[in-house]
Structure 1
Amino acid sequence: MDTDAAKRWPQGAKSAVLLSFDSDHETPSLRDGETSPGKMAAGEYGIRVAVPRILGLLQRYQAPASFYIPAVCALLRPHEVPAYAEAGHEVAVHGWIHERNTQLNYEQELDLLGRAVDVLHKQAGVRPTGIRTPSWDFSDSTLDVIRELGLMYDSSLMADDEPYELLAQGEATGIVEIPVEWIRDDAPYLMMDRFASLRPYTPPRELLQIWKDEFDGAYAAGGVFQLTMHPHIIGHRSRLVVLEELLQHIRTFDDVWVTTHAELANHVSANLTPRDTTS
């Protein structure tokens, strides 16, 4: 990839900002057969309370975002995906039921993700172009499945701060990787499981400083600030205020391109440089 070309962002921007939400809701529990009222209620909070708050916040700051949603969530509530699309946000693949890809063979993974693409296509009216694997669980078959389904980008891996092209056996694939990182994910800081050792350990205000530092570093480098959030985690009052203050900070810069993962992938893809694979 010609990284210099990739950093010539549209609209004269110096840096790009990508906000994303993994709308998992109840599916991680359903995947594991955990259907207690408590588990279901905790997941339901994401769509019942958090998503409307998040959509309102994004509208106020004119910030397009990418929503990655398991197909089972979309089927349980057929109004959710259209609401994202109608608000101008990207809808992208996030598995069938938040499955663990590394526990599947190629045929199983292709079947589940292929059906997920079809569900989102039907509900959004636009075929998804990107994927974020559930839990960023990228199997030995995942890249082959992505290619088979004709997706343009992935956002599950962590080899760089900036977008890069995925290779298969040393050969260029044309598929753009938009890297994620646990530092820029709300779950490691804020998740809670009362029957395990998982406890929120970072006050939201401290998390705000971490994410502001990540944005400031990306801006100084002329690169990408990518953030992963979950409605049922970030959507509580004392946490969503942190996202709002982060957006206020970002909007103090008039040369930042706030866009979706799909739009950034389109831009980067147009600047891919053919790789010499003869050496």
Structure 2
Amino acid sequence: MADRSPNPWEWSEPEWRHIVGRARAGRPLRPKAWPGGARCCVALSFDADHETIPLRDADESPMRISQGQYGNRQGIPRIRALLARHAIPATFFYPAVSALLHPDEVRGVAGEGHEIGIHSWIHEANTKLPPGVERDLTLRAADVLEKLSGRRPVGIRTASWDFSVDTMSIIREMGLLYDSSLMADDDAYELMDGGEPTGIVELPPEWIRDDAVYFNMVRFSALRPYTAPSAVEEIFRAEFEGAYDEGGMFLLTMHPHVIGHRSRIALLDRLVSHIRTRPGVWFATHEQAARWCRDNAA
């Protein structure tokens, strides 16, 4: 449809249906029950972007790069300690460049039983790449993570959830189990491609359940962290309670250089402690959750 009008109101029905049909939500995959008769699934995830945010923007500022390095030096150790203290697994999504900068971190996280997932090459925006580049970068990223973690990744989260018109075909070519970039539901669902079921599980994130939208700070812009940690904790807790009441999934996205600060890691600790007071909660990696949903859909 290269000759499509630039004016959406002039698009034909086949044109707008084709656009809407890419990566469409298909059948719900919420299971009748979670493992062990649990009522709710909790899937914690950490996007270990580290220095790749300024690098992606061709920003060579040592100050900006140091903000990312904080994720490696302080954020990840605090997160790993918290997960160990509560004896729960999580999923860590790594840009390949971040993994190459901190290979021992990747090995350590994987060695503790946490999942390593694909998260771009250098946190690039897929929708801004020339044709064919996204595929090359994604395949290379998977190779890097496999080499460092000792296991081929089975899931992907596109950087900034920037799922392009080519992403679906790349995921299918790679035979991945799941994606975690799209937002059509609160719970898992099967991805459709052009009206056809793909067998790929979507584990939907949401900006509401992401630490960065509340805490990000960019000096030379109006972006400021206006939300107090206590307010973010209240929002996350309400999202969990909703998932628990419905018997669904609570998927939380965090970033080591954001959540890893002293005042913020404390809110995560309190949140996890609260969740653990609820009977029938299953803490799972994204892979574990995706496999269970795929195999046990109601």
**Is 1:95 the counterpart of 2:120 in the alignment?**
yes
Q: 1:130, 1:35 → 2: CA distance?
A: 30
Counterpart in the other structure of 1:107 = 132
Amino acid at match of 2:253: T
Counterpart in the other structure of 1:276 = none
Counterpart in the other structure of 2:62 = 37
Counterpart in the other structure of 1:271 = 296
1:118 to 143, 150, 154: 143
2:241 to 216, 219, 222: 216
Amino acid at match of 1:57: L
Q: 2:131, 2:145 → 1: CA distance?
A: 21
**Is 1:17 the counterpart of 2:35 in the alignment?**
no
* TM-score, L = length of structure 2: 0.89
Amino acid at match of 1:87: E
Q: 1:40, 1:7 → 2: CA distance?
A: 45
Amino acid at match of 2:86: Y
Indicate how the Cα distance of structure 1 residues 57 and 140 shifts in structure 2: closer, same or farther if over 3 A, else same. same
Cα offset for 1:247? 0.5
Q: Which runs of 5 or more residues in structure 2 are unaligned?
A: 1-25
2:196 to 160, 171, 188: 171
Which 4+ residue blocks in structure 1 deviate beyond 3 angstroms? 1-5
Among the aligned pairs, what percent are the same residue?
Answer: 55
Q: Over residues 126-169 of structure 1, what are the superposed CA-to-partner deviations in whole Å (9 max), with x where a residue is unaligned? A: 11000000000000000001111111100001000010000011
Please show how residues 61-76 of structure 1 align to structure 2 within 5 Å.
61-76=86-101
Q: Over residues 254-277 of structure 1, what are the superposed CA-to-partner deviations in whole Å (9 max), with x where a residue is unaligned? A: 30000000101111121358xxxx
Q: Which runs of 5 or more residues in structure 1 are unaligned?
A: 274-279
Cα pair 2:190 2:202 within 8 Å, conserved: yes
Q: 1:186, 1:7 → 2: CA distance?
A: 30
Counterpart in the other structure of 2:252 = 227
Cα pair 1:105 1:141 within 8 Å, conserved: no
Amino acid at match of 2:94: I
Amino acid at match of 2:108: A
* TM-score, L = length of structure 1: 0.95
Q: Over residues 37-81 of structure 1, what are the superposed CA-to-partner deviations in whole Å (9 max), with x where a residue is unaligned? A: 101111100001110010000000111000000000111121111
**Is 1:46 the counterpart of 2:83 in the alignment?**
no
Cα pair 1:14 1:256 within 8 Å, conserved: yes
Amino acid at match of 1:193: V
Q: 2:204, 2:77 → 1: CA distance?
A: 27
Cα pair 1:2 1:272 within 8 Å, conserved: no
Indicate how the Cα distance of structure 1 residues 70 and 100 shifts in structure 2: closer, same or farther if over 3 A, else same. same
Counterpart in the other structure of 2:216 = 191
Cα pair 2:32 2:296 within 8 Å, conserved: no
